[in-house]
Chains A and B, each alone.
Chain A
Amino acid sequence: MLFNSYIFIFLFFPLCLAGFYLLESRGKAQAAKIWITGFSLWFYGYFNLYYLSIMVVSILINFLIFRLLLREKEKGSRKNPGSTMADGRKGKKMPQKLLLAAGICANLGLLFYFKYYDFFVENINALFGTDFLLKNILLPLGISFFTFQQIGFLVDACRGEAQGCSFVEYALFVSFFPQLIAGPIVNYAEMMPQFRAIGHRAFSWEKFTKGLYLFTLGMAKKVLIADTFGLAVDYGYGNIAALNGTDAVLVMVFYTLQLYFDFSGYCDMARGLGWMLGIEIPVNFNSPYKASNIIDFWKRWHITLNRFLMRYVYIPLGGNRRGEKRMLANLMLVFLISGLWHGAGWNFVIWGTLHGVLYVCTRCWQLHGGGTERGHLPASEENAAGFGRLCQSLRRAAGVFCTFLFVNVAWVFFRAADFGEAAELFGQMKNGGFALPSAGIYDGFNLDEFWYVMKVLHLTSLPHSDMLLCAAFLIFALAAVFLHKNAGEMAERFLPKAQNMVTTAVLFLWCVLSLSGVSTFLYFNF
């Protein structure tokens, strides 16, 4: 089920809310948790019952391993009653390590089978001239998200940071529908206390209203903006050979905007739904294209994935504790994993490598006195007035521009079917020549609703009037990305006023009327 679907908006979520708050208001906390868990399973099973069975089996196996881990920990503490958590961590017993390794292997094995098996076999065949058969396995939606989340949970349990939770709480933690299929990747510490508070908290009209507002903004970002850019992007990647240089550059930039509005729109919807249920879901996007360098970018883009990789890969590998070279190698590895996590293909590896190389170079530059993480000047210059501030602003703007440019280029590898397609698009940018955009690039922006506005304002008689809406969309999107507060910030600062009540209602209705024919979420297959 999609958030932006009639069944979700008209049936699923109203029913979920009504039952949940009815049960909670009567003090039936356990029933309320079961209610949302049941709805989460319905939400996931609606895509495909086969997907649901895989997730349920995964939940059962992970919960079993978690219980065994806890038992081992209890045995350990009975033997060493005086030991603290830190002692426990140092003296991790063999069975715990084995159980954790088994859990991680089971999760990665599941992910490998469904996501990477064919990629692996293709490469084996190419390398050794073998002809092992591909399985063409149907990839369960969101498998990368719920697998990583469960790995994180087991590691937390082993570290003693995830202590005891009931099966219903665990099932809810993994399957909680707002963040199930496209993240954010949440952890025990931020979710479990909230689940435990169900039935023991007061309903907040403020939180609910802000959630509704944020959900509407997210839906508008996805349905009205991302999908519109998506039309031009699909045309561009489907007709690369026919693109002129301008088209090729626009396709690259449009995808950069599409991906941001799509994924962050989804996360805004997820967070808004969470607020309406009284649950805080972590921020996953914080105006990433405002980043002034790549390190800053990764603190703003898909924050919870970055957090996961830092916490469960980078730090266990030694982080920055084993010297600079090891730290840089660890960082590079994190980005290679991030690339592969996003997709089973060499183009994703290239994308991860590009980000990794720039990240490592930037880190080196920072370490050797070339600036600070956010791209600000040193304190002495920060305090300077006048010219110094101007320099600082210009330097930051240049950083934002260069980072945006780099991210654009890297996204080409992310979107292209393979390296050849990406190279072909770059080739068109170089050799396609400067010309006005092709009709296929701007046609999708001429939405029906604007046809009337154009007609009434007599804009259709202007030269190149058919490109006006494309230009307007691009300017609006760039302004929103670079100059405006993001949806999360807007929702946090939301104050109920008549004006935003009307605009939110109009936006909501506009989105609902636009639901038929909209594309699926880009991040579903990651």
Chain B
Amino acid sequence: MKSYRRWLAGFAALLLAGGVAVAALVIWVDPFFQYHKPLSWFPYLVDNQVNQNPGLAKNMDYEGALLGSSMTASFNTDWFEEVLGIKTQKLSYNGSYPKDLSNIMELIFKAKGDQVQALFVAVDQGTFSGGVEETKFPVTDYLYDDNLFNDVQYLFNKDVVLNYILRPLADPKDKSDWAELYKPWWTDEYYNKTNVLMYYTPAEPKDTAAPEDTYVEAVEKNLAQNICPYIEAHPETEFYFFYPPYSILFWNDVMQEKELDAVIGRLTYMTERLLAYDNVRIFNFLGKEEIICNLNNYADYIHYHKDTCRYITDCFADGTNELTRENYQESFEQVKKMAREYDYESIWEDWQDPAPRFYEGKGW
């Protein structure tokens, strides 16, 4: 009987020692930044938006944050400090829905309170037509809540230990650049018209046109639940919303699906609603023809080059392309006109375009 008791005691001691060692390692390195700022010497790999953004929001030093979908992926956050003087943290989610924005804003304001000077938010207006509780990926509760007990899933997690602690140590060259988190893998060669057209499949044409108010109800709900409460609760924070410059192929799809009125109706409603707040600024790049009609600015039908990102950042500083209560309707009328009148057939006449990228070289 004694031998079994000794065995159990030894087993428990070993398990405890192993468990404590693993947990201590995770807490010390903290690759998801749940407990402290990053260690200066550790080659952190930051590639998991759902799991790492909450910790970044809680524990990094920043005055502003860049939020939104992959439309924010190519931004360099150092630019915001350079042109606006705001130290900015990228906290984007590829393919994010309004609820994803809400989740991360909740953490940002919880961590920083009224110290947040600005939030820069890419608005993929299409996602505002979805459900108010919809998130792109399942939310890992234990990283988003304050419950210390469920942190056990973080502390005893093979993926965390192997992929985010040991692997970066073994392969430190993969370490992430803090200013360019989540940047896409596309190199400059991928940004050309031939590449974009090769992977683009036009939307299936539809017979009937969607009415102007098709999406208004869903947008209203999403704004009311996921966006406006934060704007109202934080008048000290400037909210910079921008409509990203999707390529002309996006508008080709809109025309094929006979959704132009519905899309413009959605944008108009959204803009009207947001501009009602004094701490909101909105920028519209949807009809910026120098960008959207030159497919050399894109790696696919919506993802634009970082030079364009740099241009957008500069616009935040100098007010170019900003919508106001006075000009927004005219701006959308121009977008509508451009979308309706554009000669889409001409896109395929020549698969190569010698035109230089817009703002070429500024994104360095």
Contact = CB atoms under 8 A, between A and B. Distances in A.
- Measured as residues with beta carbon below 8 angstroms from the partner, the interface class of chain A is 20 to 34
Interface in A471-513: 496-498, 501-502, 504-506, 508-510, 512-513
Given A448-B158, A516-B158, A501 B7 contact: yes
Given A509-B15, A509-B22, A6 B159 contact: no
B173 to A, nearest CB: 15
B18 interface: yes
Interface in B148-173: 149-150, 152-153, 156-159, 161-163, 166-167, 170
B10 A448 contact: no
B210 to A, nearest CB: 30
A212 interface: yes
Interface string A197-229: 000000001101100100000000000000000
B29 to A, nearest CB: 15
Contacts of A452: 162, 166, 170
B8 A455 contact: no
A212 B8 contact: yes
Given A208-B8, A505-B18, A496 B156 contact: no
A87 interface: no
B32 to A, nearest CB: 12
A224 to B, nearest CB: 10
Contacts of B4: 205-206, 208-209, 496
A448 B153 contact: no
B8 A513 contact: no
Nearest to B16: A505
B359 to A, nearest CB: 40
A448 B162 contact: yes
B5 interface: yes
A449 to B, nearest CB: 6
A436 B163 CA distance: 29
Grouping DSSP codes into helix (H, G, I), strand (E, B) and loop, the B interface class, with mixed when no group exceeds half, is helix
A455 to B, nearest CB: 7
B11 A505 contact: yes
A451 B14 CA distance: 25
Given A448-B162, A513-B157, A209 B8 contact: yes
A502 B157 CA distance: 20
Contacts of A501: 7, 10-11, 14
B1 interface: yes
A516 B138 CA distance: 14
A128 interface: no
B152 A10 contact: yes
B85 interface: no
B325 interface: no
Nearest to A505: B14
Contacts of A513: 22, 156-158, 161
Contacts of A512: 19, 156
Q: Most A CB atoms within 10 A — which of B22, B158, B163?
A: B158
Contacts of B159: 448, 516-517
B2 to A, nearest CB: 8
B3 interface: yes
Contacts of A209: 4, 7-8
B15 A508 contact: yes
A509 B8 contact: no
A505 B166 CA distance: 21
A382 B156 CA distance: 54
Interface of B: 1, 3-8, 10-11, 14-15, 18-19, 22, 149-150, 152-153, 156-159, 161-163, 166-167, 170
5 contacts: A448-B163, A452-B162, A452-B166, A508-B15, A512-B19
Top 7 nearest A-B pairs (CB, nearest first) are A496-B7, A505-B14, A205-B4, A513-B158, A448-B162, A209-B4, A509-B18
Interface of A: 6, 10-11, 205-206, 208-209, 212, 448-449, 451-452, 455, 496-498, 501-502, 504-506, 508-510, 512-517
Given A509-B19, A516-B158, 10 more contacts: A11-B149, A208-B4, A208-B8, A209-B8, A448-B158, A448-B162, A451-B162, A498-B10, A509-B15, A514-B158
